[in-house]
Structure 1
């Protein structure tokens, strides 16, 4: 290339309004679900008590949102379609935000990439409608509408056809729309929502419906969650209500034995706004860290409410991320509140475990077996009834005569039945939550009798949890013993990494890890937790730094210590195959009742199954 030729200098130019709106739409409206989120939030900000949403072809060809909110006057409609025009803030304080929306970008952005029609009527005004296509606005015209607002968006991204190539199938987009609607319905349990697919015309197919719930905060939320997530979640979730330094945490958290393979049952809200914030989800995981295995995820619906001055929601175009003024305090509130609530449930386990057990115990179909005389299985009123033509009593006795066990075989090779205690002891123990021990089966499972049914306990898993909790209490009371290194490990780090790590030095010292500055970006590791044995100091420090960078706090060292305590508990617990006396089994049951988290083992699996007598009788057709 000839260097003597003059270089062409790029020209700075002002983009036109249409291009500006299309660029803004790329940030605000990623897909049809994003458009519905913005429109439904506008309806909620307008005070709507009923929001009806309809879509066609996954929202690509039609989105219609109808609400009964305050509406807009004919003079407001053109202004509402102008960028950065809003009724929700005055622009003086961007932190004092009490509404879902505040930027004034959604409607002009939608009008820039699709064909948008708004029909609205405010109290004391006539209804009016306005249409905008590709940022070209038509005149405001009179319309017919009783109240509220109807926003209709057709041919999304027709003005930016390249964006259509990045959309997924109609089915995938419809699922994203449904997810958005359910999250907003959780945020406003006193508002009615409907979602319809009108791809085939007419009234369409009802996809989702949630009628307004009644009652106080927890009752209304519980009813809404039962409709959206399912009754099994609300039956196995515990209420959470805690406050710290002006921040309140409310909602429901599931028992550890009610968990999922992915994070599909985790919903977090900040001042009523659904968020997908990494720090908040990390705090949720930390609260369950020694109650679930790494491949299981807890279920929770949590609401953080605080003064808007304590949180900044203006950090993401879609407002899905937030920044707290004191993130460490907020994280600590979530972790401590959830752990306290879970510990308060004691030995409780989810009832879905019993339901799964009952499903596995369904009687198999029994083939017809000829006996002396005519006999057959018939079904009457959903119960199997044995019918026979009543042969002679002698023949009947011979048909059902018990045979003696073969020589050399035990009559009950894998079960040990304890003699029943005296009546007064039986009454006392059977009234306890986990009942009175009655038998040990296969040298691993304890059968206990309660007032309402039976309890089956995995003796090894239960005792492992009890020993683990005991070891954790001892470690918390006496501290983690540290072992001094003969030659300190010197680890070279970047100066900012060393500074952030040294800020956490006091917390790490409580866990047995003693570090200090060694000049520049280097740190010296002088003591390590004795319980960990020989430690790769550099690997441990790197893990702690990664967690600090990701979440602003670290539990990597605590997790390693807990893992060692868990292994110690496993080796120190009652082993499978050990025969236990009645008093030992009852002592184990009593300790389970008094120990938090004893309803699940160290990996989140249930330690016992409770079967009610009514369910057992149903299995045998006795109801």
Structure 2
């Protein structure tokens, strides 16, 4: 049979086009809410039934449409947002003129709209069949109602998910739109009941973005973030990035906003991860909400049908500026600790215990106290029920001295692993191993970059028996290990360690070698040197740090606190676990229902 080429009718063309734009109910909500935002709406109401499969209604108080514009709005490629030769300067969320005709070809849709100086009008489209425009009383703005999505298209309808799943996708989308447009108030109704309300207060213009984040994520979320601010000639970067210890097991809490448009960009996401690379454990993801403002001519938004991706004219410049801004922001907050309230509420931010023999008591690593700094402190300590207790009179200091130390002064050690310290505003709980691990790591990193790593030749070289496969693996990184101060040699069926860094003298070398072997997987040698450096150095630093189970006296505890305060990124260990957690006096009183 000969197949004859025929022109498709307009409704079929619209249905094909809708396949690119309208995938599920959340696609409709996205297009309609973006239209409302482009119309300068300040209040947007969203009503959802059955996850949006049965009913979606978006009402706004924007500029509205005249009778003539309403008629054109359901025609393909009819738009008020784009003129000839200005696509490179587009600054609206929508611009193609495809949304309404695409929606109208796969559902029943009614649009009611009114401009300030005219009557209201409505038009209905039933799966591509247009109804006559008629007058309809309404307030200024637009109401779009969509019903029975894909109901007449079984091949599309069967791919819709449960109402719960579709609602989840809608709420996730609205969260993104609300974050990127904090000047707009959103009210969300689900199955006839008020569900969410994010109100924008005009009186708080200077802090709209911050207040919107609090509305959506809560104050604890913001308390565990640090601000991001950078302005150059063409690129402005603002927002909030999470403390390294405040992280997730997935990338769902990552938001990149470019010119008020939430986008997905692997290159930018990768750049942000690289800024956290020696601050997070493997498999953990940073949390961030980052706004990038850039001239419209320097970014192409016409890349993806859903307008969820962009292309920068100079992506290297944007990436470089972003990494620099994040590094500066993290450096400023390097010793900021996790807010304990969110830590207790959200187990997702706390890491699984790092599996290593490091958590067993082994050879002790001494930490030296500066006697001139602590000459007012009494060093006697005693152990009562596994608590190293200190009398108040032993740590009385004048208020001026106390103000100089963010982590305050040690009060006790509990479980031979945690230091309890107090400053003027609350209590700090310090994981002595995690904190010292970061200190050793940063010292070794600095020594390496300055070519000053000190190593000590072992009086009796350590001989370690390995399988042939493991021996080849460890010898494949012998040059890397040598640069860190570990000198190894092939010794028949074994390897021999002749020298180690002075910072890890006393470490269990058998466990150290086994830990290093664990990180040398198939793609290890394909990594760049920086990644190999951070991975191996973090393992080595573990063995140079104070062990869990090591009892410390008051001088040692305070010396550790002082070192934490001056060490970069000391809020977390090398594996991303928090090294210390802060509990304010107010939070303590709340726990005891005093406030």
TM-score range, shorter chain: 0.7 to 0.9
Deviation at 1:413, TM superposition (A): 5.7
Q: Which deviates more from structure 2 when the two are superposed, residues 42-51 or residues 328-337?
A: 328-337
Query: Offset of 1:146 from its aligned partner?
Result: 2.1
1:447 aligns with 2:420: yes
User: Structure 2 residue aligned with 1:135, among 84, 109, 128?
Assistant: 128
Partner SS state of residue 38, structure 1: helix
1:607 Cα deviation from its structure 2 partner: 1.4
Superimposed CA distance per residue, residues 464-509 of structure 1 (whole angstroms, 9 cap, x where no aligned partner): 111112222333444999xxxxxxxxxxxxxxxxxxxxxxxxxxxx
Question: What are the equivalent positions in structure 2 for 1:136-535 lying under 5 Å apart?
Answer: 136-198=129-191, 204-214=192-202, 219-244=207-232, 246-352=234-340, 356=344, 412=384, 414-417=386-389, 420-421=393-394, 423-424=396-397, 428-429=401-402, 432-478=405-451, 530-531=482-483
Segments of structure 1 that go 5 or more residues without pairing to the other structure are 1-7, 199-203, 360-409, 482-524, 545-555
2:340/2:583 contact within 8 Å kept: no
1: CA distance between counterparts of 2:437 and 2:520? 29
Q: 107-116 or 271-280, which moves further after superposition?
A: 271-280
Mapping of residues 548-587 of structure 1, within 5 Å:
556-587=528-559
For the pair shown, the structure with the greater C-alpha radius of gyration is: 1
1:121 aligns with 2:114: yes
Verify the 8 A CA contact 2:220 2:342 in the aligned structure 1.
no
CA distance 1:36–1:470, change in 2 (3 Å): same
Q: How far is 1:596 from its partner?
A: 2.5
Instruction: Please give the alpha-carbon distance, in whole angstroms, between the structure 1 residues aligned to 2:310 and 2:423.
Output: 49
Change in Cα spacing, 1:305 to 1:422, as seen in structure 2 (3 Å) is closer
Cα 1:618–1:105 shift into 2, 3 Å? closer
Matched, 1:109 2:102: yes
Give, in angstroms, the shift of residue 150 of structure 1.
1.0
1 CA distance for matches of 2:427 and 2:54?
A: 57
Alignment RMSD? 3.1
1:12 matched to which residue of 2?
A: 5
* 1:167–1:464 Cα change, 3 Å: same
Q: TM-score, normalised by structure 2?
A: 0.78
Relative to structure 1, the CA distance from residue 426 to residue 36 in structure 2 (aligned partners, 3 Å threshold; closer, same or farther) is closer
**Which residue does 1:89 correspond to in 2?**
82
The C-alpha deviation readout for 1:97-153, integer Å capped at 9, x for no partner, is 110001100011011111111111113222111111222212211111121111111
66-75 vs 209-218, which deviates more?
209-218
- The answer to whether the Cα contact below 8 Å between 2:338 and 2:580 also exists between their aligned partners in 1 is no
CA distance 1:116–1:430, change in 2 (3 Å): closer
* Change in 2 beyond 3 A, CA 1:297/1:217: farther
**2 CA distance for matches of 1:135 and 1:349?**
57
* Residues 291 and 602, structure 1, Cα contact 8 Å, conserved in 2: yes
CA distance in 1: counterparts of 2:346 and 2:257, whole angstroms: 36
Cα pair 2:444 2:453 within 8 Å, conserved: no
User: Contact conserved, 2:300 with 2:310, CA < 8 A, in 1?
Assistant: yes
- Residue of structure 1 equivalent to 2:65: 72
Mapped to 2, the partners of 1:208 and 1:442 lie a distance apart of: 44
Q: What's the CA shift for 1:273?
A: 0.7
Q: Distance in 1 between matches of 2:203 and 2:241?
A: 20
Deviations 1:572-592 (A, max 9, x none): 122233343433322211121
Where do 5+ consecutive residues of structure 2 fail to align? 348-381, 455-476, 489-516
Q: TM-score scaled by structure 1?
A: 0.75
